[in-house]
Amino acid sequence: MNTLLDIKHDADIVQANQIDDDVIVAYEEERGPGPTPPYAPDWANIEGPWNYALLEIFMEAYTATYLVRDAEQQEDVCKMFMDRLRRLKKKVKQAAPQIGETNTQMNQRLLTQHRRVLLNQRRNSRRNEVSIQTSLIRLFESKRKQRFSVRSRITVQNAASQKSGDGRVIWEHLDEILSTLGAGGMSSDESDFDDDGQKAYFVKKVSWRRVGLVARMITVDRDRNFKNCYENITGNAPKPRKRRVNATESARRPIPGLPINFYDDVWYSRLDEGQKKLLGAKAALDLIEFQRVEG
């Protein structure tokens, strides 16, 4: 991690590279590139998309050097990365002069804080800040929220660009489906290499979701590939998301309270009455049949 951030000791982070807030916002909205060397964290939002992108870069470098035996060990490494960012953030915050504080006063404050840290270490009062599983869950949630945000812009802007007619109706229909599913209804990815040796993101299977909804999400994603939906601002090239027959099953629980025709018929038929009651499916939403519409 020191290599990633170009530091030798924690104290070096105070003089390390800083990243502009506008660059971070552009990445989160998928209209700008992600982290590039020299790398710098997003201190304002430790568990935001930018820092999880840094985590992915770190894990690729880490696994190229060290053997990760299983998922549990991988989770441990991810947790240590995020915990280290939190500690470094404290260093950055402590080193910044407070309002009206002289250099002498700041140095005295830092000395007092250092003594307090040593005292706490002697007491061995270590605390668990975030569970291992929670760190990975938040990583996936961040990606799903990002994907939902991009798809939402596509449907809204395309609907607005159609003055009337079938095109507008279809894009409004797709936006309604997207809004109903929410960020939780977006598929997760797992990174792997395709047959050409190129890194790709394979979509995990969501068995409870109706297949017809997947086709509609693909329609939205294809429009993201065909044209720029950010008013001529060039953004990130979309990551290659591929679907395969033997896709990994998503471990996420089904979203309750969706229209009943959003759930897969076979999956729903296997639920007992108690499970159906807990799921609380609502009345079916009319799903319009259509062919892909350009623009």
pLDDT at 248 over 80: no
Span 182-212, pLDDT tens digits = 887 776 544 444 445 454 444 567 788 888 8
Confidence at 114, pLDDT banded by 50, 70, 90: low
Q: Is 11 helix (H, G, I), strand (E, B) or coil?
A: helix
Over residues 136-188, the pLDDT tens digits come to 556 666 777 877 888 888 888 888 787 667 888 888 888 888 888 888 777 65
Supply the pLDDT for residue 231.
40
What is the average pLDDT across 22-38?
A: 90
> Domain extents for the chain?
2-99+107-126, 174-279
Using one digit for the tens of pLDDT, what is the confidence trace for 47-67? 999 999 999 999 999 888 888
Question: For residue 200, what is the enclosing H or E element?
Answer: strand 199-203
Higher pLDDT, 145 or 84: 84
User: Which residue's structure tokens are 């820092």?
Assistant: 51
Q: In the prediction, which pLDDT does 190 show?
A: 44
Mean pLDDT, rounded, of the chain: 76
**222-248 in b/e burial notation, b at 16+ Cβ within 10 A?**
ebbeeeebbeeeebeeeeeeeeeeebe
Q: What crossing angle do the helices spanning 132-161 and 211-226 adopt, rounded to 10°?
A: 70
Which residue type, as a one-letter code, is found at position 204?
K
Q: Is the pLDDT of residue 260 over 90?
A: yes
Q: For residues 106 and 129, give the distance between their C-alpha atoms in angstroms, rounded to a whole number.
A: 28
Mean pLDDT of 217-229: 65
Report DSSP letters for 69-128, one per residue. Answer: -SHHHHHHHHHHHHHHHHHHHHHHHHHSPPTT--HHHHHHHHHHHHHHHHHHHHHT----
End-to-end CA distance of the chain: 44
